[in-house]
A and B are shown apart, each in its own frame.
Chain A
Amino acid sequence: EPEVTQTPSHQVTQMGQEVILRCVPISNHLYFYWYRQILGQKVEFLVSFYNNEISEKSEIFDDQFSVERPDGSNFTLKIRSTKLEDSAMYFCASSGDSDGELFFGEGSRLTVL
C-alpha cells in the first residue's frame, strides 16, 4: 500500500540552528501539507502546497518556516532558526485531489534544546 514517508524520525537540534524535515508523498498525489503536534496537544495545520506554491498557511507558519518541492518526489519543511517552542511532532500529508483523503506520514519528532 502506498504511504507517505518522513525522515528523520527524530532530530535533536540546538536553538538557533536550521532544520530540514523531509517527506516523500504518495507518488501520484498533487496536494501536500505539513501539520504539527506539540506534545499532548492538538494536531495543527501549518501549510498546504499545490502546483509548486503555497496555497494556504497558518499564523504559525511565519518567516522562519519555508517549504519546497526540490524535485519530483521530495517535499521539505525548513525551519531557519529553531526556537524551543518549535519542539513538536511534524506530520507531512498528501492527497490526490483537493477534497480527497489525506494520508499522513508517521511524523518527524523535533526536539530543540
Chain B
Amino acid sequence: GESVGLHLPTLSVQEGDNSIINCAYSNSASDYFIWYKQESGKGPQFIIDIRSNMDKRQGQRVTVLLNKTVKHLSLQIAATQPGDSAVYFCAEIRHSGFQKLVFGTGTRLLVSP
C-alpha cells in the first residue's frame, strides 16, 4: 500500500564520526526538552534532557545544546556506533503540571560500519 506520512530527514555517517542532529521547537514557553531514540518497532527511549535555564548538558557520548533565542536544539553523538542507528526525536514540554510531550518530526540516523 501507499506510504503516507512525513518524509524523515536522514543523516548518514561513518562509524566513529561525530553526529549532530538538529531540531527546531515551536513554543518559547516550553521549559523542558528531551531527546528520544526510537529503534524500529520499539517505543521512544530517553537519551538526555535539558531544562530551559541551561544551554548545554552532557551525558555519556551525547551532548544537548539549547539555543532559546532561535528555539533550536541539537544532539551531538560522539564516536557514533552502528547501534546508534535509529530515529531521533526532540520533544518539548509545555509545562502544565503533567508531561504532555510535543514531539518533533524526527531524524533518521544511519551509521555505516
Contacts and interface: CB of A to CB of B under 8 A. Distances in A.
Indicate whether A and B interact. Answer: yes
Interface stretch (A12-20, A71-79, A96-104): A96-104
A17 to B, nearest CB: 21
Given A55-B97, A98-B97, A43 B6 contact: no
Nearest to B98: A48
A38 B6 CA distance: 10
Q: DSSP majority for the B interface?
A: loop
Taking residues whose C-beta sits less than 8 angstroms from the other chain, chain B's interface range is 20 to 34
Given A91-B44, A101-B46, A41 B6 contact: yes
B4 A102 contact: no
A41 B106 CA distance: 9
B95 to A, nearest CB: 8
A48 B98 CA distance: 7
Interface string B83-113: 0000001010101111111111110000000
A106 interface: yes
Contacts of B104: 42
Question: Which bucket holds chain A's interface residue count?
Answer: 20 to 34
Contacts of A44: 103
Contact of A56 (B8, B45, B100): B100
B5 A48 contact: no
A65 interface: no
Interface of B: 3-6, 8, 32, 38, 41-46, 49, 89, 91, 93, 95-106
- Closest 7 interchain pairs by CB? A40-B5, A104-B43, A43-B103, A48-B98, A41-B5, A42-B103, A55-B98
20 contacts: A35-B101, A39-B4, A40-B6, A41-B5, A41-B6, A42-B103, A42-B104, A43-B101, A44-B103, A45-B101, A48-B100, A55-B98, A56-B96, A56-B98, A98-B98, A98-B99, A99-B93, A102-B46, A104-B44, A104-B45
